[in-house]
Structure 1
């Protein structure tokens, strides 16, 4: 992984490739490269580091072409070196870019060595290049060679291929990793993400599992897993160029934090139009699916997993049915007990998270037909594989550390909770009206939380020199503590851990001293007094606390206790509001430490490998 773009046109495609790779930078990467067909030669330029360094080298070497492919790599097989960067070339005739992981690459490598192929890299991708060349050498044209090669690959892949033998053709294929074809006027494109080609076209075809695509200037032919021609629907993307640009902000993460009032409002717009919780919000036939569910199983990874943990409290307290939440990569590899009357909920910002997609497939193989996805990207793989879907309307999220996707996922999960409760007779009219009103006021409450930023900036200066931090929360706010710790470690590289505050005395208290700041999520709810007792435990050990409280929580500040208060307690939706301050704390601590906020080291935005 991580990003692919390709183009064939009557104009110079090198600027298209480079612009596309820049738009894919948000996904996280450590090297970049392009390969183009220039006359009778396959020319390639690669660099470790940023796309700008590769761009400068391409300009210096005079790259111009009407056919080419490009890639940003996030290292899996082999270190961060130029020889491991994509594209990979076979015999100077054929170039390949690849997202995913080929599981049988070692066996294929030995086979190809025996056929006379030499390897210059440590990557699994070079195997693909040589394997396609091997089939071309055997008499196949490029399309047939790609189709023959992918049948011999085990694992996940999205690939784009060009060959000097067929200079008017670009071939693409996918299995387990996202890939799309962009349709232009006398020119066509391939990409792993629509943002890479939105400057050239909004008309796209999303390739399905096992598809290959034969792309020329004038046509696109798609073939299914059996190599039979097939028509795939053409979609018009609603991704805007404005959403992919910084505007007045320093970083995309800052922009996206401040976009949350709008994102929340857009996500609940249909609900507000209806004025009631209704199954139609989740798609056709949702009432039949949701009315008799006996429990909910949530599968997700990372930040989406913490959204699921928050929802468990809501589902069990409001809908009154059991809810379990599991990391998708763990669920897919254990012998799970299936109750077909349970609802399987998968959560993914991108809709392409490999572990979550595979967990959904596993759940369906166990007999789960009641499936629902919560996702921010229309027509992505996970929603297409689910019976029902609720699209969050956060807009494009560029920063690797998720912010507005998380809060809109929480809104979607709360809406699901109330809908199930209503369908099952556990939400009366007065409660429904109260929750609708709370959601209506939520964007304003999020804005109030954003207004705390100047105070949080002052805190961040004190966090910047620290190497470790603890986050504490209780009940429904414990997952917000987990999310706060994740954000801090992701972008500031400060080691942070989160615990339920009641667990403090069962081990983590041993870590507390004057060098260990402790962040406490302390809203004015039923567990407030318990949290205050936990704070005293920290204070007695010389620890310094940073408390996010509500205006009426009656916390007193002292030398060891720093308090920032949100304007008021917002009841059951408090976790959404309290997510904002911990995002801001992580962002400003990272600024103070001088880290790359939008592209933290070693991380990728869309995780499409194991």
Structure 2
């Protein structure tokens, strides 16, 4: 997930989209791409790395410069490593699609499509949505195909799609991931965040969860739960610098207020309150391995070390496994006693913390390792035997907020998962914890709404 920009109008779609994506660069990303409609055809360009790499690639291409309709994306990897192959937009026949969020049931949908003979070019959950939309378009009108596609998806998602057979429209879906529509003079701007549209218009509609839209210059059709709806047009008064911070005075405050959403991303698709079960299939921990664990060592630096201290409490309480906590800078020098039944876990937001990496290298020569990490494709994520991603998104502020709290949620899920596997935590306890976790984003949001009462000049 990361930055989304779409455009329909009379100007160069490519220039508008690249400008919008530049204004979302502060969110962090690992690849970028665009799809531009020109002379009834859709031209897609993607590049690994920064936007400049995509711009350099586009300099050598003749097509796409004159098009006035298009979509663009900067990607922060959540499914599939950072690569040009996994970058957005994804193509599926006549469909080009970009997506933010996490499709929880992408594995089962992928298997269903494979059984129908569908092949895939990437490792992403986004390509699933593109393939489903393509399948529905073969037998339905575009907007109905959009609705039926979204009915099959579980999770958080915001996507923009272009149908080559309907080249004057952009199709939009929004569920638990932000999308705004900016209104200009005979032009429409679509984005995941207001800063992308602010240089072009200050008239903005904010879509709500469940909204589906068919966007054209002449009309914007929005439906929610099968009913036509209108969304309020708001006048944005932020200056561009403030807009990049979402209207907050600084990034730290913005990231504090992002916690309700990202905490939900951390546990979404990983727990079932009905039967009291935890799903951590991405960890790939076998029952035999879990049964034999007799000690866990947790290693980290800075804020993540404090997450380790809380994780120790969770693991000993719920999994009944003794836990040591070490500073990564000290771990490798104290010659830790590790056996084949030990498990060493590291926690890192970036996945590149040097001392933590060194500790992980040492541990791998003795026992199994796992990581709680935010950045897919990072060094720690690649080296650890088992990885649990937090899905906090990029954190710009030096003082950690949302990265830390998502680490705590991931650690609680991990401890409960081990306790279940070892048979030491009951279903009722898991249901109670799952219920509390599901309520956490709402409670946190309500707490943050009290901020004006307690603010003291920051």
TM-score bracket for this pair, using the shorter chain length: 0.5 to 0.7
1:77 is matched with which residue: 64, 76, 79? 79
1:91-490 mapped onto 2 (5 Å cutoff): 91=93, 93-138=94-139, 140-224=140-224, 226-243=225-242, 263=249, 348-350=256-258, 353-355=261-263, 485-486=302-303
Counterparts in 2 of 1:154 and 1:510: CA distance versus 1, 3 Å = closer
CA drift of 1:353 comes to 2.1
CA drift of 1:350 comes to 3.8
In structure 1, how many angstroms separate the alpha carbons of the residues matched to 2:69 and 2:306?
47
Give 1:86's aligned residue. Answer: 88
CA drift of 1:604 comes to 2.9
Point out where structure 2 has 5 or more consecutive residues left out of the alignment. Answer: 268-272, 274-298, 311-323, 334-374, 379-391, 396-401, 411-458
Q: Deviations over 1:173-209 (max 9, x none)?
A: 1111111111111010211101111111111111111
1:604 aligns with 2:393: yes
Counterparts in 2 of 1:45 and 1:356: CA distance versus 1, 3 Å = same
The residue matched to 1:111 in structure 2 has which SS?
helix
CA drift of 1:145 comes to 1.0
Give 1:315's aligned residue. Answer: none
Give 2:451's aligned residue. Answer: none
| Contact 2:2–2:100 (Cα < 8 Å) also in 1 | yes
The residue matched to 2:43 in structure 1 has which SS?
strand
The residue matched to 1:147 in structure 2 has which SS?
helix
CA drift of 1:107 comes to 1.9
1:28 aligns with 2:28: yes
Q: Deviations over 1:229-250 (max 9, x none)?
A: 01111112233124468xxxxx
| Contact 1:136–1:142 (Cα < 8 Å) also in 2 | yes
In structure 2, how many angstroms separate the alpha carbons of the residues matched to 1:133 and 1:79?
24
CA drift of 1:163 comes to 1.1
CA drift of 1:357 comes to 8.7
Counterparts in 2 of 1:511 and 1:164: CA distance versus 1, 3 Å = closer
Counterparts in 2 of 1:221 and 1:303: CA distance versus 1, 3 Å = same
| Contact 2:105–2:154 (Cα < 8 Å) also in 1 | yes
Give 1:66's aligned residue. Answer: 68
| Contact 2:300–2:326 (Cα < 8 Å) also in 1 | no
CA drift of 1:352 comes to 6.5
Counterparts in 2 of 1:358 and 1:222: CA distance versus 1, 3 Å = farther
In structure 1, how many angstroms separate the alpha carbons of the residues matched to 2:240 and 2:89?
27
TM-score, with structure 2 as normaliser: 0.58
In structure 1, how many angstroms separate the alpha carbons of the residues matched to 2:206 and 2:69?
21
| Contact 1:5–1:71 (Cα < 8 Å) also in 2 | yes
RMSD, aligned α-carbons? 4.0
In structure 1, how many angstroms separate the alpha carbons of the residues matched to 2:162 and 2:327?
59
CA drift of 1:143 comes to 1.6
CA drift of 1:162 comes to 0.6
CA drift of 1:508 comes to 7.7
In structure 1, how many angstroms separate the alpha carbons of the residues matched to 2:138 and 2:264?
39
In structure 1, how many angstroms separate the alpha carbons of the residues matched to 2:199 and 2:21?
12
| Contact 1:178–1:352 (Cα < 8 Å) also in 2 | no
| Contact 2:262–2:393 (Cα < 8 Å) also in 1 | no
| Contact 2:79–2:125 (Cα < 8 Å) also in 1 | yes
In structure 2, how many angstroms separate the alpha carbons of the residues matched to 1:114 and 1:17?
37
| Contact 1:176–1:354 (Cα < 8 Å) also in 2 | no
CA drift of 1:89 comes to 0.7
In structure 2, how many angstroms separate the alpha carbons of the residues matched to 1:115 and 1:40?
29
The residue matched to 2:210 in structure 1 has which SS?
coil
In structure 2, how many angstroms separate the alpha carbons of the residues matched to 1:42 and 1:303?
39
Counterparts in 2 of 1:352 and 1:171: CA distance versus 1, 3 Å = farther
In structure 2, how many angstroms separate the alpha carbons of the residues matched to 1:2 and 1:158?
10
Point out where structure 1 has 5 or more consecutive residues left out of the alignment. Answer: 246-251, 265-301, 308-346, 360-364, 366-467, 471-484, 490-494, 501-506, 517-598
The residue matched to 2:113 in structure 1 has which SS?
helix
Q: Deviations over 1:518-564 (max 9, x none)?
A: xxxxxxxxxxxxxxxxxxxxxxxxxxxxxxxxxxxxxxxxxxxxxxx
CA drift of 1:10 comes to 1.5
Q: Deviations over 1:335-378 (max 9, x none)?
A: xxxxxxxxxxxx9434772425999xxxxx9xxxxxxxxxxxxx
| Contact 1:195–1:239 (Cα < 8 Å) also in 2 | no
1:585-600 mapped onto 2 (5 Å cutoff): none
Q: Deviations over 1:26-58 (max 9, x none)?
A: 111111100111113211110110011112212
CA drift of 1:115 comes to 3.3
CA drift of 1:116 comes to 3.6
Question: Looking at CA atoms only, which structure, 1 or 2, has the larger radius of gyration?
Answer: 1
Q: Which runs of 4+ in 1 moved over 6 A?
A: 495-500, 507-513, 606-610
TM-score, with structure 1 as normaliser: 0.44
| Contact 1:29–1:604 (Cα < 8 Å) also in 2 | no
| Contact 2:104–2:155 (Cα < 8 Å) also in 1 | yes
